[in-house]
Homo-oligomer: A and B are copies of this chain.
Amino acid sequence: MPSVHESSFKETNVELLVFEASESSGVSFASIKQAAENIRGRAHVTPVLSSKLINQILSAGETEFFFKCENLQKTGSFKFRGAYNALSCLKESDKGRPIVTHSSGNHAQAIAAAAAMHNTTAHVIMPQNASRVKFHAVKSYGAHLTFCRPTTKDRVRTAEQVREAVNGILVSPFEHPGVVAGQGTVGLELMQQVKDLEALVVPIGGGGLISGIAIAAKSCNPKVVVIGAEPTLASTAFQSLQAGERLQATGASDTVADGLKSGIGVLGWQVVCRLVDKVITVSEEDIISSMKLIWERMKLVIEPSAGVGVAAVQSEEFRELRFKRVGIILCGGNVDLDHLPWQN
């Protein structure tokens, strides 16, 4: 099997691909650097942790892993960066208008918290099967809550109804350049915190996180490899790359990684198809055992979505790439402690 260094991207001009991705998505390295300014002092610069024991377990010590702890971010996930930045980027005439969004949870909390910090009202549409902890957190930030059925279609429709009713502004979880630029600051920060990273491993849901990170990281260092990680049960990015065109999610996924149930979005696809070197898919069993491993050995509470990246680096496919220094994004830590996935 060819290593990713010999992949189809080898001969191409990465700078050109970054330029094309920025043009078609509306997210540039400049807008990510501006986002970093916008969130400074409001979002945490999250720590990067590492552990020899974990390196041993994950790669028999062959690879050094650097864990970017977005589970320690405000509201418990990276989503706060994008939400806060999107509200910072509003036109002057739109400031103060209600903010409306739909989300399975983490973006909802992020919008609720960011809206409160921007002194505006948030209206959040959540699927009725999202976890109790997430409902509770969204309400604790003072947001208004509306429930919908757990399908993308119903979420979008309900959000539009609410938006009209309150004359609000919709801030989508990932189809929004301001949101994606905010998420890109994770990559910018990590590249500044750890030198000589060869690869970054990033979970993919709608694709906002990996898009922002890919633009930021490849602008810092065109040689860095960006690898997506998806649950096999929710792998539209993987399937889209295979098909050569964006495929939509076919109904609700049953993956335990509830933050990754969305299909890859339109904006995300513009970046992923150009800048993501590979997507690795992982089983539910591996997601759960990887999540538990991080709890047990690194003493960090992470959610299943964050376990997806940890599972990916344990795959044969990843090990064969023989990277020496790898960043893994622990994207969030919001779980219901009364219902853990390794317990029945």
The residues of A with any CB-CB pair to B shorter than 8 Å are 47, 49, 69, 71-72, 76, 133, 292, 295-296, 298-302, 333, 337-338, 340, 342-343
Contacts and interface: CB of A to CB of B under 8 A. Distances in A.
**Looking at A133, A296, A333, A337, which has the most chain B CB atoms within 10 Å of its CB?**
A296
A299 B76 contact: yes
Scoring A69, A133, A299 by chain B CB atoms within 10 A of each residue's CB, the highest score goes to: A299
B49 A296 contact: no
Given A299-B300, A300-B301, A301-B295, A343 B338 contact: yes
A299 B342 contact: no
Lowest 6 A-B CB distances belong to which pairs? A299-B333, A299-B301, A71-B299, A295-B301, A72-B299, A295-B337
Nearest to A302: B299
Nearest to A76: B299
A49 B298 CA distance: 15
A245 to B, nearest CB: 38
26 contacts: A47-B47, A49-B72, A69-B299, A71-B299, A72-B298, A72-B299, A76-B299, A133-B296, A292-B337, A295-B301, A295-B337, A296-B301, A296-B337, A299-B300, A299-B301, A299-B302, A299-B333, A300-B300, A300-B301, A301-B301, A337-B340, A337-B342, A338-B342, A338-B343, A340-B340, A343-B343
A58 to B, nearest CB: 16
A284 to B, nearest CB: 18
A295 B302 CA distance: 10
Nearest to A330: B299
A334 to B, nearest CB: 8
A265 to B, nearest CB: 27
Contacts of A342: 337-338
